[in-house]
Structure 1
């Protein structure tokens, strides 16, 4: 066989993105204020789901929901591991909204801030894909991002588990040393930092954990604090 006729590896593989700066943005309480209206709605739906499917009273279901969220980073993972709950069924029933747009609280100027930021931008969320896409579309932010990774793409293993991060890094062919994670969860940022990422904590806290490189009150503060990090 004429080896010269073979296509070089660069002609058959997608270009690597190792050297390109990539921002990984959490969704809830990072790109919008989920605590105001969205989280209370989801929490009520999750508690009702647990009441119905695990035969607990409301108080017991609420405690179990919070326990699994604190232990695993997502209530869903605890229900899968300990109760064999079907994840697709759970996500569908607990993320139904009559009018999601009316529940969203976003900041004016966020779209402009994201669009003029350097590098690629990816949403990395523990929420389901349909919900994440709807939030981004309704808030006018979808075209600011090159990709959206939701809990389904992580095979229902949420942040802060390293496996969730590895799936995004592998799928996008990213070097974690060229990634910046923007999150409201300090626990999720701890994993990002261990993997070699720069970390930005969206928080009003006065303290800054050692695994946080920069703390901002809002994503709107990123141009003043992080360009470039």
Structure 2
């Protein structure tokens, strides 16, 4: 029987990044721009906003217009030891992931040192056969389709047998356009047309009917 290939996001999907980790990263990004570009706090935030809207990521604008070294920026703005102290995830996360049939990979817009550190601290690094950070997709963040296609090509898997699990609707929209099944991690009561299931946490994934049936039966 054919099995699913799961593509998991990391932040706000496998752990709560919004309450403590994201605010800390945001602060470090602003401080980086202030230190290295000579900006004040307001100017740093304005530049971040402009590059985010135009390029989809602050880093891409910094590389293009200021020659910023990507590895240096990602290390400075994601201080791993401090961020690991803020890690929060649902109880029993390793067990919940292990119950899901099929292969699992992780695809995050975050840098690899951060991704690997979070996975190890949460005790789930062995659940994933491969891990993709922003460096692994040539700094092309989701929802740009190039990273998704790169993963599909390397894994040699058809999109119809893949499930994308994400907290971001923009990222799920791209996955759906490419032919994947989509699961939105959210407490929302509505479900957009491009989302196949909405669950509150990872534990609830096994209760989704079409997930239990597998890709061949689910497509019937």
TM-score by length of 1: 0.86
The reply on whether 1:130 has 2:113 as its aligned counterpart is yes
CA shift, 1:163, in A, is 0.6
Query: Max radius of gyration: which structure?
Result: 1
Alignment of 1:81-160 (within 5 A): 81-160=64-143
1:79 counterpart (35, 56, 62): 62
Counterpart Cα distance in 1 of 2:51 and 2:187: 25
Q: What is aligned with 2:10?
A: 27
Query: What is the count of residue pairs matched by the alignment?
Result: 211
CA shift, 1:67, in A, is 4.2
CA shift, 1:70, in A, is 4.8
The reply on whether 1:180 has 2:163 as its aligned counterpart is yes
Counterpart Cα distance in 2 of 1:154 and 1:175: 19
Counterpart Cα distance in 2 of 1:217 and 1:64: 34
Structure 1 unpaired stretches of 5+: 1-18
RMSD: 1.7
User: After TM superposition, where is structure 1 displaced by more than 6 Å over at least 4 residues in a row?
Assistant: none
Structure having the higher helix fraction is 2
Q: What is aligned with 1:222?
A: 205
CA shift, 1:151, in A, is 0.7
For residues 115-161 of structure 1, give each alpha carbon's deviation from its aligned partner in whole angstroms, at most 9, with x where no partner exists. 01010000100011111000000011111111101111101111100
Structure 2 unpaired stretches of 5+: none
1:211 counterpart (194, 198, 205): 194
TM-score by length of 2: 0.89
- Would the aligned equivalents of 1:23 and 1:180 in 2 still touch at CA under 8 Å? yes
Q: 3-state SS of the aligned residue for 1:163?
A: helix
Counterpart Cα distance in 1 of 2:3 and 2:57: 30
